[in-house]
Structure 1
Amino acid sequence: MTLKQNNNLISPLGADQAAQLQQVVSQLSPNQLAWVSGYLYGLSAQDGAVAGSAAQPQAAAPAGQLTILYGSQTGNTKGVAQQAFDAAKAKGLNTKLVSMADYKPKDLKKETHVLIAVCTQGEGDAPDDAIELHEFLASKKAPKLADVKYSVIALGDSSYEFFCQTGKDFDERFAKLGATSIAPRVDCDVDYEAEAAAWIEDVIAKMSDELSAGVAPVAQAVVGSVAPAQASQYNKKNPFKATLETNQKITGRDSSKDIRHFEISLEDSGLTYQPGDSLGVWFRNDEKIVSELIEKVGLSADEKVKVADNEVTVVEALARHYELTLSHPGFVAKYAELTANADLAKLAEDRAALREYIDGRQIIDIVREHAAKLTAEQFLSCLRPITPRLYSIASSQAEVEEEVHLTVGLVKYDAFGEEHFGGCSGYLSERLEEGGEVEVFVEHSHFRLPEDTNAPVIMVGPGTGVAPFRAFVQEIDANELETPTWLFFGNPNFTEDFLYQVEWQDYLKRGVLNNIDLAFSRDQAEKVYVQDRMLEKAEELWQWLEKGAYFYVCGDASRMAKDVHDALVKIVAEQGGKSQEDAEAYVTELRKNKRYQRDVY
């Protein structure tokens, strides 16, 4: 029956409305019609019945709701959660996708069906947006979850000792609280896509059986996700071929560091970003390393091999598709097995010794020490897929428009008689010429300036960690905001390593930057770091916090971020007259309210 025919019956629609609706629904499939009907029913249930309309029979409600919780540091885990959400939506499930940072832990007791996607940061730590929920589940406040059915997918890196530890924690704690796992936890390494796809297919099918509903489920909701300001066709799987416009070294000739400032054109890409976002960069491995590997393993450069669904030459596979700079335990174990190398096999059995062995060694170093002939298929089976590197964006589009700026430290060191370079930093700094093409995409982040532009901002960013704060201050300046700002910056030497010195001095002179405290560790006998400067300014820093300041940290996770956190807690305890426990609670509350944010790596 068309809407025109239906209008002969009692209808609240006018002729024009009916015609417009008919035009829309005529283009929809039966599945889409069912979804739209559920969506409209959900709206009507929220807004109440239309006055004067005839009572209509209610559409069948879903048997329950599936909640997908994600904790993501770089965006990969969020991507897996989004894929699970899309798969659940395609099944017609009433589904909610929520960042753990935006989820109220006490709501767990209301859940019945939960999927958890979470990564592990560094040596077994939860990502920042998952910390609160992770701690809550281990506390006495955690509720019994006997009515909850769940599954966990954990993302990690087997190069680290505590591989996928956060995911293991969530799985263990849900089970301990009485929840029932509907599918075993899946622990994914850096090449996670295939395993993640299989997990999604499995758990969504099982959740669909659990939550089978009537023909009209209510609309799905996405909570706490950050969307780009403008849609673009370019993403991680379909990167934009951008132009490298500038490669400028910004540390001095005698500096112990080689830090580069890159400017990349995004013209005609449609890519947009906000201060705090990251730029993903796909890179090519060094051709010299590729050639040497081919020679030592006895491969043919022109032989065709299958990578994903494509056929490429061995040289192209090694240059573009496989990780050659970051060693990992799996490579040693598989290479030892295929080459029947007893020494490597013995080493692979000792986790501590193996990690010490691969520290500083690239794939080529291991092959040089233990050269052996393998087929292309055998050798490639030892390797992990190449992964793009994410760099904090060092610019604001309000200032630079269709450009993006990066601040990158070149990884360069001598080891085992050879000069070594980082995969992406070496590519950008040494092998990609200005004017050359580089494949990039934008990774959106939780790391954001306050919505209240009058809220003070405290930024702690030593070394290349200063990058997002350059973007923050550019944004504030370009939009002529009155945001009070305070920067803590550190590096080895004032004369060699004061990154963007002229810019900071100009911002300070014009009042865009209110305070700057510098920690150059090697300019005096006793080393001084950013956390030391914080403690020196403890009283004023506490006053800023009490006035509603937001506190940001960017940089090294293993030492700097922990030292800064400890200094922050100490300042709160001493200046606020609080116990250690109360000071920790104060800082936790800052984090809950998004007034304490970290971009650490």
Structure 2
Amino acid sequence: MNAALKSLSPAPTLDPDKLALLVRLTHGLAPADLYWVAAYSAAAAAAAGGAAPAGLVAMGEPAANATERLTIVYGSQTGNSRRVAEQLEARAEAAGLPVRLLRAGAYPLRELAQERLLSVVISSQGDGDPPDDAIGFVEFIAGKRAPKLPQLKFAVLGLGDSSYPKYCAVSQALDARLAELGGQRLAELGEADVDFEAAAASWSAAAVAAARETLAVPATAPRQGAALHAVRTVATHSREQPFAAAVLENQRIVSRDSERDVRHVELSLEGSGLRYEAGDAVGVWPRNPPVLVEQWLAALRLDGAAEVEHGGKRLPLARWLGEQREITRLTRPLVAAQAAATRHAGLQRLLEPEQRAEFAALLESHQPIDLLREFPAAWDATELVATLRPLTPRLYSIASSPKAVGPEEVHLTVAVVEYAAHGSVHYGAASSFLANAGDEATVPVFIEPNERFRLPADGSRDVIMIGPGTGIAPFRAFVQEREAMAASGRNWLFFGNRYFARDFLYQVEWQDALRRGNLSRLDLAFSRDGVARSESPHKDARGVARDSHKVYVQQRLRENGRELYAWLREGAHLYVCGDSAHMARDVHEALLEIVATHGDLSADDARAWLADLLQQGRYARDVY
């Protein structure tokens, strides 16, 4: 049962069947949606003469015309667009506007034809793709079924990374399409780069001012006409105010001779007030490796002790580089600044639009330190700090269920980035920081909810999980959760890595779960040694199939395509976690083939079938 329902006092008077139905109806809803449900219920109770529940405050009657409001829709992969949308909602409410906030995946598309005011905050992923939860929303607006929108006034804000060729491509396409359908721009298209806060705030202010003018709401108007709202409780710790989590355990979980270092890290949330669910992520605010900071100072011949003032803050340059600035990820602004400083023709040519492939290859193969060494230039310390992007948190899928380990403990699976290239060792910011976090260390963290990646509320549903490498993390949490809930549905896990003997993450746990029946089936692929295993209660757990070629999880999916498709036809939920650049795309292609082959569908129909699964919330991806 939902923990929030359990905590109600006095105990609910609903009979068990109705209570179970309520849990199913509310499972997976965003906080804003849950508050609306609570407010709607309270209003209904008041109309019937009942007392208002504690914790709810009436803020006036609902607007007479539901279209006389601002609707905010967000599509977010990592949580940034959601945060911006929530800030936009708060700004609009403070201005006296009736407002509703919805995830793109939860937006009722049939209502688009009646919308009068619409703001969309959406990110672009990878090769100009929408966030998974927004695919249906974007495709509907782009498609033939989209209605004409002469009554609509809209504003679109895109979040992206200017280092990539299709920067803010999704928001650009949405803005153009809404105008093509007859809508009028409430505000000009906004585009926000990785350091999005200032641009997003400026755009939000303009959008709210235009919406207030459209609805003829006076600037000093008291808040009226809004729906009933719950009094929200805000966690003490957040992205802006992270919690210093003590390290409980930091253990290597690959063999000594493994080419990679993968860690199982356990952190204490005791006293933080932070809560999480299986499927959520932990945000880690890293510190850059001290050895890399020294390399920067040496390459640029700058004094780390020199004081630098920027943005109202004054720190030694070494602290700026170690704690405040991004120095492990190469970006277009830094390449452009280095090209301008060196006047190097080859570097300047890489920035031209027709050199997109070459520029992408540079970003993938080089870190900033390589650029500084290969194309030396004189930098002023103040100019350097101003040019570099702010350091951003890294998100790690949570590898534990609070029902299994307790709510005040959280586990992570961390692949440590450390490799040799261009004559020196390269490091990842957060992974190196976590790898070196000893028993006495603390790690600044926050919880990043992921409503898109939740187990089905109905425990009798089957679950298929695909997680190569550290993508296995959330599925460790899922299996723990399903065991704690005594879920009756079957659990099928696909896992892949390089070597069976070196890189089988959590091997003992999976074998134990198979023995106890908490894992129904485990199919494995190990690409570098040509070994693949399939273990299930009806197979020989010691059987090893040896192949002369590399084996990946997508091949295991195809080999088991008939049964996998049968599970999906019977209502199973499908989850994928891991690398977005290659694995997730290859797995999706394999799934399309499986659906087309075993469902006897055309390629277009198979694509539509999987898209429908995604729209239903039965196909969820946590990719990075």
Q: Compared with structure 1, are the counterparts of its residues 368 and 221 closer, same or farther at alpha carbon in structure 2 (3 Å cutoff)?
A: farther
Q: Measure the CA separation in 2 of the matches of 1:288 and 1:530.
A: 37
Tell me the SS of whatever aligns to 1:263.
Answer: strand
Q: In the TM superposition, what whole-angstrom CA distance separates every residue of 1:117-147 from its partner, at most 9, and x where no partner exists?
A: 0011111111101100111112110111121
More moved, 301-310 vs 93-102? 301-310
Deviates more, 1:528-537 or 1:393-402: 528-537
User: How does 1:463-482 map onto structure 2 within 5 Å?
Assistant: 463-482=469-488
Q: Report whether the alignment pairs 1:409 with 2:415.
A: yes
Q: 1:152 to 1:501 in 2, by over 3 A?
A: same
Counterpart code for 1:420: H
Q: 1:216 to 1:509 in 2, by over 3 A?
A: same
AA matched with 1:110: Q
| TM-score normalized by the length of structure 2 | 0.83
After superposition, give the CA deviation of every residue in 1:334-372 in whole Å (9 maximum; x if it has no partner). 233345555543443454443333332222221122333
Q: How many residues align?
A: 553
What is the match of residue 394 of structure 2? 389
Q: Which residue in the other structure is 2:524 paired with?
A: 518
TM-fit CA distance, 1:300? 3.3
Cα deviation digits, residues 75-117 of structure 1 (max 9, x gap): 0110000000000010111101000010122221110111110
1:559 offset after TM fit, Å?
A: 1.9
Q: Is 1:204 aligned with 2:227?
A: no
Q: What letter matches 2:128 in structure 1? A: G
CA offset digits 1:124-179 (Å, max 9, x no partner): 11110110011111211011112111111111112222111111121121122121
Determine the structure 2 residue equivalent to 1:599.
622
2:170 corresponds to 1:163: no
- Mark the CA change 1:301 to 1:256 in structure 2 (over 3 Å): closer, same or farther: closer
1:348 matches 2:351: yes
Deviates more, 1:313-322 or 1:436-445: 313-322
Q: Evaluate the alpha carbon distance shift between residue 220 and residue 465 of structure 1 in structure 2; reply closer, same or farther with a 3 A threshold.
A: farther
Contact 2:74–2:82 (8 Å) recurs in 1: yes
Report how far residue 425 of structure 1 moved: 1.1
Question: Match for 1:455: what amino acid?
Answer: R
Segments of structure 2 that go 5 or more residues without pairing to the other structure are 1-37, 51-59, 531-546
Asked whether 1:218 is paired with 2:250, we answer no
Distance 2:76 2:603 in 1: 29
Structure 1, residues 231-255: CA drift from partner, whole Å, max 9, x if none?
5211100000111222222122333
1:552 aligns with 2:557: no
CA distance in 2, matches of 1:419, 1:245: 29
Corresponding letter in the other structure for 2:287: R
Alignment match, 1:34? none
For 2:611 and 2:167, the matched residues in 1 are separated by 26
Residue 57 of structure 2 corresponds to none
Structure 1 Cα separation of the partners of residues 619 and 228 of structure 2: 27
1:154 aligns with 2:177: no
- AA at the equivalent of 1:300: D
Aligned match of 1:16: none
1:322 aligns with 2:329: no
Unaligned runs of 5+ in 1: 1-38, 52-56
Q: Is contact 1:307–1:317 with CA below 8 Å preserved after alignment?
A: no
| 1:68–1:97 CA contact under 8 A, matched in 2 | yes
Q: Secondary structure at the match of 1:296?
A: helix
The answer (yes or no) to whether the contact 1:61–1:217 under 8 Å persists in 2 is: no
Rounded Cα–Cα distance in structure 1 between residues aligned with 2:39 and 2:572: 42
Over 3 Å counting, the alpha-carbon distance change for 1:61 and 1:545 in structure 2 is closer
Flag the structure with larger Rg: 1
280, 284, 297: which one aligns with 1:281: 284
Residue in 1 that maps onto 2:564: 541
d(CA) in 1 for partners of 2:348, 2:583: 36
Change (3 A) 1:244 1:216: closer
> Does residue 1:66 correspond to 2:59, yes or no?
no
Q: Which residue number in structure 2 is paired with residue 238 of structure 1? A: 241
The offset of 1:437, in angstroms, is: 1.3
Structure 1: which amino acid aligns with 2:129?
D
- Please report how far the alpha carbon of residue 593 of structure 1 lies from its aligned counterpart in structure 2 after TM superposition: 1.1
The answer to whether 1:80 aligns with 2:84 is yes
- 1:419-498 correspondence runs (5 A): 419-429=425-435, 431-445=436-450, 446-498=452-504
Contact persistence 2:246–2:267 (CA under 8 A) = yes
Counterpart residue number, 2:274: 271
2:288 aligned counterpart, secondary structure: coil
TM-score, normalised with respect to structure 1: 0.87
Equivalent residue in structure 1 for 2:121, among 111, 117, 120: 117
What's the counterpart of residue 294 of structure 1? Answer: 297
2:63 and 2:395 map into 1 onto residues whose CA distance is 45
CA distance in 2, matches of 1:353, 1:70: 33
Counterpart Cα distance in 1 of 2:190 and 2:564 = 43
Q: For residues 58 and 596 of structure 1, what CA distance do their matches in structure 2 show?
A: 38
CA contact (8 A) 1:339 1:374 kept: no
Q: Is contact 2:70–2:100 with CA below 8 Å preserved after alignment?
A: yes
Give the secondary structure class of the aligned counterpart of 2:464: strand
Q: Give the aligned residue type for 1:393.
A: I
Cα pair 1:244 1:436 within 8 Å, conserved? yes
How far has the Cα of 1:301 moved from its partner? 2.4
Higher deviation after alignment, 160-169 or 70-79: 160-169
- The answer on whether the counterparts of 2:579 and 2:623 sit within 8 Å (CA) in structure 1 is yes
User: Helix, strand or coil for the counterpart of 1:359?
Assistant: helix
Question: What is the root-mean-square deviation of aligned Cα atoms in Å?
Answer: 2.7
The residue identity in structure 1 corresponding to 2:429 is: G
Change (3 A) 1:337 1:444: same
SS of residue paired to 2:128: coil
CA contact 1:97–1:221 (8 Å) conserved in 2: no
Aligned position for 1:133: 137
Q: 1:58 to 1:593 in 2, by over 3 A?
A: closer
Cα drift, residue 291 of structure 1: 2.5
SS of match in other structure, 1:153: strand
Letter aligned with residue 264 of structure 1: L
Q: Determine the structure 2 residue equivalent to 1:247.
A: 250
Mapped contact 1:41–1:218 kept (Cα < 8 A): no
Identify the range of structure 1 (155-164 vs 370-379) with the bigger mean alpha-carbon deviation.
370-379
Which residue identity does 2:202 align to in structure 1?
A: A
Superposed counterparts of 1:87-106, under 5 Å: 87-106=91-110
Task: Read off the aligned partner of 2:224 and give its amino acid letter.
Answer: P
Output one character per residue of 1:297-329: Cα deviation in whole Å (capped at 9) or x when no partner: 343323333344432222111111110000011
Residue 41 of structure 1 and its aligned partner are, at CA, apart by: 12
How many angstroms does 1:426 deviate by?
1.6
**C-alpha distance in structure 1 between counterparts of 2:398 and 2:84, whole Å:** 23
Counterparts in 2 of 1:586 and 1:342: CA distance versus 1, 3 Å:
closer
Native 8 Å contact 2:416 2:428 kept in 1: yes
| Fraction of identical pairs, as percent | 44
Quick one: distance in 2 between partners of 1:259 and 1:409? 4
Paired residue for 2:3?
Answer: none
Counterpart of 1:18 in structure 2 is none
Aligned partner of 2:404: which letter?
Answer: E
Letter in 1 for 2:455: L
Any conservation in 1 of the 2:462–2:490 contact (CA below 8 Å)?
yes
Quick one: which amino acid aligns to residue 124 of structure 2? T
**Contact 1:283–1:423 (8 Å) recurs in 2:** yes
- Aligned-pair distance for 1:421? 1.1
Worse-matched range after superposition: 296-305 or 499-508: 296-305
Residue by residue over 1:491-523, the C-alpha shift from the partner in whole angstroms, topping out at 9 and shown as x without a partner, is 122111111010001111011111111111232
Could you give the per-residue CA deviations for residues 390-438 of structure 1, whole angstroms, max 9, x where no partner exists?
Answer: 0100001111122111111112221110010111112212x33232111
